[in-house]
Structure formats: structure tokens, C-alpha cells
Structure 1
Amino acid sequence: MKNVFKWVYHNTLFGKLLIYSFHTSKNRFWPDQLVIRYNYWKSRKKPLNLKNPQTLNEKINWLKLYDRRPIHTQCADKYEVRSYVTEKIGEDYLVPLYFQTQNPNDLKPENLPDFPCIIKANHDSSGGIFVYEKHKLDYPDLIENFKKRLNKNYYSSTKEWQYKNITPRIIVEKLLITKEGEIPLDYKVHCFNGKAHMIQVDIGRGTDNHFRNWYYTDWTRCPFKWTARLGEKETDPADFDVHPPKELNAMSRLSNILSEPFDYVRIDWYDVDDKLYFGEITFHHDSGCRPIKPDKWDYKLGEMVQLSNNLN
């Protein structure tokens, strides 16, 4: 029977319309908990335990459903989070902001700086557009791109509530480049109950040699991996190490401050020639749907996260 459904989907218009209707109705009309359970089952091929979550991934999904405070909306917004960071640790750690708008038609040469910058949306996770020479941009294509992005609500597909009420806008920031002319590594600090626990370092992002190393805050290797799937490849750890950032201790200390209100959160940083810049705050790493291997570490890490009883 499974093969019959596959054949109908791949070989008939009816099959494709049926699947499209299913996913559209799922995102629009299904209760959030049902969508979260379905997405987890689709990815992990096992049911999600929300009544008594044990693993880190289960607790991330529990938080997705039950920890829905206004501070999440502010911190998930790449524009509004700047005021949160300024209040908690000071504005010195913010990437310089050159321009912001809610209207894609404002993307004109006169509104962009004459030096490298990055253009991105404040409400999604689709990355940004690197601009080295603004006169080489295809502006009609750029405007069309951001019209589509600003019309998308990330909440509808993942039910990550923090994205639901963000006012979409475009932001233009300084493009961080090292003295060697390279894009710096980003360090993703995973925090449990307001304390930095482990740091994810992505190497070779956007290439066929994309690796993901995991370190504790003393820069010893973690005995597990938590990979993302990119096409046919997973972001496994590399067989080599990267040097710890010079500001490693400051990175952990500042992450503790920023993560204080949350049971679990990821605080992202850039280290550019030994100067720290805040990147973003992410509440549900890989939407809580990627396996931690060996499996026992999903449970061990889950034990370290204490879920609050006074949410909402």
C-alpha cells in the first residue's frame, strides 16, 4: 500500500494536489500540538512525549508549546532583540545597523552603505544577502526576494510561537569580515537554565565540507553530535579542532546573562579579530527534531534542563 501511495504522488497530478492540500490544511487548521507532534514524528519516526518530556529534544518541543511569553517575540526579532541586548549587556556587542524598513521598495542604492553589508529579514531563519559592491546588485530581483520573505510567517509551518507576532522588516547591518578578508566563524552557545553548557561551531558553512564541532565551555570536545541534514550530507564533527576564541570566557559569561530568563536557549556570537559581536537568540534549535547521537546523550542533556512551572 505504501508503494501505491508513492506511485500516485510521484506520477499523478491528483497525488501532488492531495499532498499539497494536506500540508496546507495542516499548517492552517491543525492545532499547534498536533502539528508539533506530526513534525517530530515525521523527522524522528517515533512519538513525541509531551506529558513527561525526558530528552533535550522533547523538552525543546515542550517549551515550543508551553513557554509563550512576550519576551520570546522580542528576542526572536532580529531588530527588536537589539534593545534587549543593550539593556542586558550593553550596545558595544551589537553589529552596527545602517538601515531598516518595512517596505522592500526602499532597497535602493542611496539607502545602502558604500562598504560591505548584509541585508536580511528580522523574522525568519533564511540567512542574509552579502553585499560587497552595491552597484552590482540586481535591485528588482532583490526587492522581489524580500517581498516574498516579508509575506511569510515562519510560525505557520513550525508552530514556533515566537515568530507569530513579529512585525516583518528588512535590516541592513555591517558585514563582519576578519583582517584576512574572511567571514568569521560563528559560535552558538547552548544554555540550560541560564548557564552556558556547550558551544556549537560550524566550519565551512555553505560548502560541501560543512562540519559541526561541539565543545564544552572549557573547549574540551563533547562526546556527542547533533547534526543538521543538508541535502544528502549531515554536518558531522570534523576530525580536527578549531582554536578556541580568545574571548571564550566572556562569551560564556555574557551568554549566561542573556539566557537568564529561559530554560533552554541558544545565544549566537561572532568573534572578529578578538572582538565579540552578538548574533541572534534561537529558542528551538533545529526545531527540536534532529537526533542527538548517541541517543543516551539526548537523555543526559535533557536531565540538565529543568522546566519552569510558572510559564505564560
Structure 2
Amino acid sequence: MRIKKVCKTVLRIIYDSDYRFYITSCYGLHNRMGDREFLEKKFKAVFHRKLDLENPKTINEKLQWLKLYDRKPQYTQYVDKYLVRKYVKEMIGEEYLIPLLGVWDNAEDIEFDKLPDQFVLKCNHNSGTGMYICKNKNNMDCNKVISELKKGLKQDYYITAREWPYKNVPRKIIAEKYIVDESGYELKDYKFYCFNGRVKLVMINSDRMSDKSTKADYFDENYNHLDIKWGYENADKLPEKPEKFELMKALAEKLATNIPHVRVDFYQTPEGVYFGEMTFFDGSGFDRIEPIEWDYKLGSWINLPQKTQ
């Protein structure tokens, strides 16, 4: 059965040029290709239709357009998990920042003995790779953590989907305080999608720290549930409206000032509300949205700015 599956995949790679590009791009074989050509080819490989950059309509099309033509230098600061702290402090206040425990240029420089029993280590320029959540320092393999962080620092987060703000982020490792939400064991993500500075869509991630796969549920700005699937399955039980929903929404809109489209993430904990990150290209603009009508509806909410490139 396994041999049959491998043969089928090999034949598809040989005869399906779109699928072949998708697979080979994952292995970095097109890293020297120009951004526009790369995005056109990958979009076609994923969605099986041409990317319309002259008259984009869906949110996934407009995200590709924004990658190419809305390149404001400050966006690099906003995606930098270390430097964005300065922007957050200036715009909404330092009290919304997760306490910083340390920052280093090299993994070998981390002073583990000075860190508390629980903490989170992450690279400032990517998402996931190299991240380590320490719940008990006595169970930590320092050498393994250092090795994974070194891999994270080497990752070129820009090249795989041409999310250009990450291209020139000065790479570092940061340590933050370990936090959980009111459940005491997980940390739900509240993601506020801002269109021209206004929240119009909210996503809540759950089961992020359990053995289950991460779930996602979508709501409008008034917390009415929406029938959308976007890269994740819905939770078995709808999450309740967070107590600080209106506060987080207002904070997100402040941080999204003068930006055509950005997602601003927050956490609600017993200690208060904390800022998570700013994301300009959800799913890199390559996650399918169901039903397809929502791809167009969300796209209609983005007013594209004048080209900066």
C-alpha cells in the first residue's frame, strides 16, 4: 500500500507541473526566483487558478498583492517579536507586553541558570521553529534546546512564501514569562483581523497546548459566530466570549492604525491582557477558506493602498 502511494506521488510530480512546483518549492529549489513569479506559480499550484494581481478580489489574492506592493519599512519592526515591543509600548502601553526575561544574539549565550523554572524561548523573526516552552526547568535538555534554537535562527522565514517584512529582521532569541489563561493549563489565542484600522473578524485558537490539534473559530466584531473554516477545524464546543473582548478589540485597532490589513493577537490571562504578535499575511495567503464566498467577502474588506514598489 505504501509503495503504491509513493508511486502515485512520483507520477503526479512528473506529470503535474503545478504539484511539482509546490513540492520543489518546499525544498528551496526556487529560492532565486523573483517574488512575483514565485507567488504566481505557488498560487496556481495551491488554488489551481491564475493569480490576478491587476484586479485581485479574494483575500488570498490581495495578500499576495500586499506582499509585492505595500512594502513600508515599519512593517519589518512590527513583525519583529523583539522590536515590536517598542511600538506596542508607545501605542497602547507597556502593561500589555509579556514580561521579557532576556534577549540574545546566539543560542550559546543563553544564561539558563538565571531563568525561572518556567519560561518561553523563541526566535524573533519566525513562527514556531526553535520555540521552546519550559514548564519545568529540571526536565529541560539544554543542549537540545540550544540546537533547535540554532536551527530557528538559520531559518529564512521570508523565502518560503515571500513575506518580505521578515527578510531584514535582525535575528535574536528572546525569553518571555510563561503564561496561561483562565483554564490554568492552556493559552487561547485571540486574533483580531483589522481592515483599514477596524476589527471586522475575530479568530479564537484553542487546544494549542494539548494533545489535540489546534482548533479555530471565527466571529464578527460583535462576537456573533461565523461559519468559516480557514486552515483549521472548528472546536467541538464554541469558546465563550472573553471578558476583555472589547478591550482587546480597541487595543488591536490602535495598533492597526494606518495599515490596510493586519492581524493583531492578544492573550487574556488572570494577570491581565497581553499582546501576542502582528501578522500581515495569515496563512501566507495560501490557506483555503470555506465556504469560498468568504474568501471574496474578506477580500472586499481590504482597500488596497497606492503601490510603494
Tell me the TM-score normalized by structure 1: 0.87
Select 1:207's aligned residue among 205, 211, 234: 211
Q: Distance in 1 between matches of 2:251 and 2:207?
A: 26
Q: Distance in 2 between matches of 1:109 and 1:5?
A: 45
| Corresponding residue for residue 287 of structure 2 | 290
| Corresponding residue for residue 256 of structure 1 | 253
Q: Kindly indicate whether residue 10 of structure 2 is the aligned counterpart of residue 6 of structure 1.
A: yes
Greater Cα shift, 291-300 or 52-61: 291-300
| Superposed counterparts of 1:40-59, under 5 Å | 40-59=43-62
| Corresponding residue for residue 268 of structure 1 | 265
Q: Kindly indicate whether residue 240 of structure 2 is the aligned counterpart of residue 236 of structure 1.
A: no
Select 2:179's aligned residue among 176, 196, 203: 176
Q: Distance in 1 between matches of 2:156 and 2:25?
A: 18
Q: Kindly indicate whether residue 197 of structure 2 is the aligned counterpart of residue 194 of structure 1.
A: yes
1:92 Cα deviation from its structure 2 partner: 0.6
Maintained 8 Å contact 1:44/1:290: no
Equivalent position amino acid for 1:192 in 2 = F
Q: Distance in 2 between matches of 1:294 and 1:8?
A: 27
1:109 Cα deviation from its structure 2 partner: 2.3
| Corresponding residue for residue 3 of structure 2 | none
Q: Kindly indicate whether residue 118 of structure 2 is the aligned counterpart of residue 116 of structure 1.
A: yes
CA deviation string 1:245-287 (max 9, x = no partner): 1111111111111011211110000001272100000000000
| Corresponding residue for residue 96 of structure 1 | 99
Give the 3 Å change call, closer, same or farther, for CA 56–9 of structure 1 in structure 2. Answer: closer
Identity of aligned residues (%): 34
Q: Distance in 2 between matches of 1:191 and 1:212?
A: 17
| Corresponding residue for residue 223 of structure 2 | 219
Select 1:143's aligned residue among 143, 146, 162: 146
Greater Cα shift, 102-111 or 65-74: 102-111
CA deviation string 1:59-110 (max 9, x = no partner): 1111011111111100010000000101111111000001000011012422
1:39 Cα deviation from its structure 2 partner: 2.0
| Corresponding residue for residue 275 of structure 2 | 278
Q: Distance in 2 between matches of 1:5 and 1:204?
A: 32
Q: Distance in 2 between matches of 1:286 and 1:91?
A: 29
